[in-house]
Amino acid sequence: MTRVISNLLQRDGIRHTPMAGRLAIEGVGQIVPHCWIELEDGRRIDLRARMWLGDDPRVPHGIVSTHALGMQYEGEPFQVVSNPLVFWALTDRTMDAFAPASFLAAPLLASQMASADSSGRGSDQARAQPASTEVR
């Protein structure tokens, strides 16, 4: 999933860093190995933590603040080379089938960041994604 999202962000010119490492959440568990994306404005994209750790509200999903409490991400950046053939193999679609990720270009408002910090998760608005960007 990280490779797919990174390809779409590259296509749309949104600066980001794909990461690989581990995620530990107090009272829930940890995932090793784990991949996610860090955005330059203090947000993180994590779409697989709940697949492994369940639907506990402390487990991040979507676009969340890097300042969320109770989560510890540790990892190293890795490079994702944009390749339309690999993208198609992973999604069964071309990149053109996905809407632009322009909603990521605007940073979270201060109130959304505060909400994410206190709850350990991003706000519903911050995690919302257009249906057209869903990847199977």
Is the predicted pLDDT of residue 127 greater than 60, yes or no?
no
pTM for the whole thing?
0.74
DSSP class of residue 118 equals H
The sheet with strand 71-77 has its strands ordered as: 62-65, 43-46, 29-39, 16-25, 71-77
**130: closest CA among 16, 12, 40?**
12
Q: Is 75 helix (H, G, I), strand (E, B) or coil?
A: strand
Confidence of residue 106 (pLDDT cuts 50, 70, 90): low
- β-partners of residue 73 are 23
Q: Which residues contact 31 (CB under 8 A, 6 or more apart)?
A: 22, 23, 48, 49, 52, 53
**17: closest CA among 98, 95, 88, 73?**
73
Q: In the chain, pLDDT over 70 holds for what percent of residues?
A: 76
Q: Please report, for the chain, the start and end positions of each structural domain, with discontinuous segments joined by +.
A: 2-133
Is the predicted pLDDT of residue 119 greater than 70, yes or no?
no
Over residues 14-66, the pLDDT tens digits come to: 999 999 999 999 999 999 999 999 999 889 999 999 999 999 999 999 999 88
